[in-house]
Amino acid sequence: MKRPDSSSWASDHAKEDAGANRGRSIRSKHNATSKKQIESHPRSNDKSLSDRTGSGRDNRTRTPRRRVNSRRSDSKQLADTHSESQSFALWGGLELKKTIVNSILKMGYEYPSDIQKASMPWVLQGRDVVAQAVTGSGKTAAFGIPMCNFVDPHSREVQGLVLVPTRELAQQVQRELSLIGRERGVGVVAVYGGEPIARQIKLLEQGMAIVVGTPGRVKDHMNRRTLDLGSVGMAVLDEADEMLDIGFADDMEYILNRTPSARQTALFSATIPNFIRGLIRRYLDNPRWIQLVSDTKGLETVDEVDQIFYDVASQDKADGILEILDDLEEGSQILIFRKMQIGVDRLSKGLAGEGFAVKGIHGGMSQSERNRVMAAFRDGRLKMLVATNLAARGLDIPTISHVVNYDMPENIEEYVHRIGRTARMGKRGTAVSFIGEWDFELYEQIIAKIGEDKMIKRKFSFY
Ligand code: ADP
Ligand code: MG
């Protein structure tokens, strides 16, 4: 049975009509003040930022690595010459600089999360680490605390480097590390594409201890000689598998090859697929593996997320999303994933036409527009966002109650990350997945890897 009031947009959508917005009547229960439509921009996302000339591999200039225990000793001594760093305090049994403990307590972090407890002792020792733990478990602070603890805030050299796959994640990680390092006066800058490079250069010139960036823009700064990584003692690859997946492999290698080979390297993700092992072999030295996920399946979703699956034909997805949205409680915050930028534009226009206050976000939009949309979604002014995979990784917006896979992702890792945008740090959440005609292979994998016991099967009323 079709919904009488959704037939126009829904059937237009079924025909993939780009002009699907028909100015429907505004629904009273949703705030429909914001009906601004997101324009479609030419394709230019983070991926295209990276100037992948292939030179990374040819320029490998690594020297043999020093032994683990001799690493970072120079900079550590440097840091210890400052009286501030002589003052220590315990946090969950871990000895940290007092100023760091003060900051993290102010952030409300009273004790370490499981992954922090398991990985931080090794990271603090200077060991290379591969850490895998479910989404929303506090991986950022697991490397951020040791990094802010390690660097010398008085030095003008970049000593900590964090590479991340997206601009929004760079901004978020920069914010978290700034908070962790606040009392200690640790300078943290984010560098990413789509923003005037001059502003970033100005910040870099001030002498920042930590740089968080997307590989494309980091490399760009290195080529302009506005960023020198010759003093990096600790490098972190956050969401490394995604960086490889979206084509940053050469940039990452280029960058890592230009940091001291004696540096400490850590890799954090909720998923460690096999294709990442080459990178680990080349750039990590006898790493300590910390895997807080099922070792038989190698993949895990958090228990607090209800994973609901609907079979739905492509032409009925629009009706399906309306049925889902009509059932949502007031105050829900929902993130809807689509595969293509054009699909994001169409769905956000279609839903806006139905009276929903909704925006879209994808790599074809200007960075200032992306920032505006993200800021509104983060602070809860915006309750509904349609996104490409750009929003699948790392984003921490604890108020998100629902994730919808309107289009299923390409693979099971992306599924795990997408649904991981909800149910963070012990909160509950719901993930709804539309299983279309082409998604059965992935669906079978989800059954095999995530487990049928974690899955809830439902049927739309119109079937
Ligand atoms: P992950 O990278 O594992 O997906 P994040 O680093 O984004 O997770 O952290 C998820 C949430 O947990 C964030 O909101 C963060 O502020 C919070 N958090 C991290 N560590 C702690 C802690 N020790 N105590 C309380 N909250 C924490
Ligand atoms: Mg993370």
Pocket-testing residue among 100, 104, 109, 145, ligand 1, by greatest number of atoms within 8 A of Cβ: 109
Beta strands in 108-260 (DSSP E): 129-132, 160-163, 188-191, 210-213, 234-238
241 CB burial (10 A radius; 0-12, 13-18, 19+): buried
Single-letter residue type at 408: M
- Distance from the alpha carbon of residue 286 to the mean position of ligand 1, in angstroms: 27
Phi/psi at 260 (5° precision): -55, 135
Q: What region, left, alpha or beta, does residue 377 occupy, with left being phi > 0 and alpha being psi -120 to 50 degrees?
A: alpha
Confirm or reject: Cβ of 138 under 6 Å from ligand 1: yes
Cα distances (Å, whole numbers) of residue 235 to 205, 305, 420: 20, 32, 25
pTM of the complete model: 0.85
198-222 pLDDT, tens digit per residue, is 999 999 999 999 999 999 999 999 9
First to last CA, the chain: 7
| Whether the predicted pLDDT of 79 surpasses 70 | no
Mean pLDDT over residues 73-91, rounded? 62
Q: Strand 334-337's sheet: what is its strand order?
A: 359-361, 384-387, 334-337, 402-405, 429-435, 305-311, 455-458
Q: How many CB atoms are closer than 10 A to CB 446?
A: 24
User: Which pLDDT tens digit goes with each residue over 345-371?
Assistant: 999 999 999 999 999 999 999 999 999
Mean pLDDT of 105-124: 98
Nearest ligand to the C-alpha of residue 169?
2
Beta-carbon contacts of 72 under 8 Å, excluding residues fewer than 6 positions away, are: 126, 150, 233, 234, 262, 263, 264
Domains of the chain: 12-38+301-458 (3.40.50.300), 50-291 (3.40.50.300)
Give the Cα separation of 344 and 270 in Å (integer): 26
Query: CA angle 345-349-351, nearest 5°?
Result: 120
Classify the C-alpha dihedral 88-91-96-99 as positive or negative: negative
* SS3 assignment, position 183: coil
Task: Give kind and range of the element (H or E) at residue 277.
Answer: helix 277-283
Worst-scoring range by mean pLDDT, 2-16, 299-313, 337-351, 389-403? 2-16
Probe residue for ligand 1, chosen from 105, 212, 424, 427 as the CB with the greatest number of ligand atoms within 8 Å = 424
What distance in angstroms lies between residue 103's CA and the mean position of ligand 1's atoms? 14
- Transcribe 87-149 into DSSP letters: -EEEETTEEEEHHHHHHHHHTT--S--HHHHHHHHHHHHT--EEEE--TTS-HHHHHHHHHHH
The pLDDT of residue 82: 52
Q: How confident is the model at residue 22 (pLDDT cuts 50, 70, 90)?
A: very low
Q: How far is the CA of 189 from the centre of ligand 2 (A)?
A: 18
Decide: helix, strand or coil at residue 253.
helix
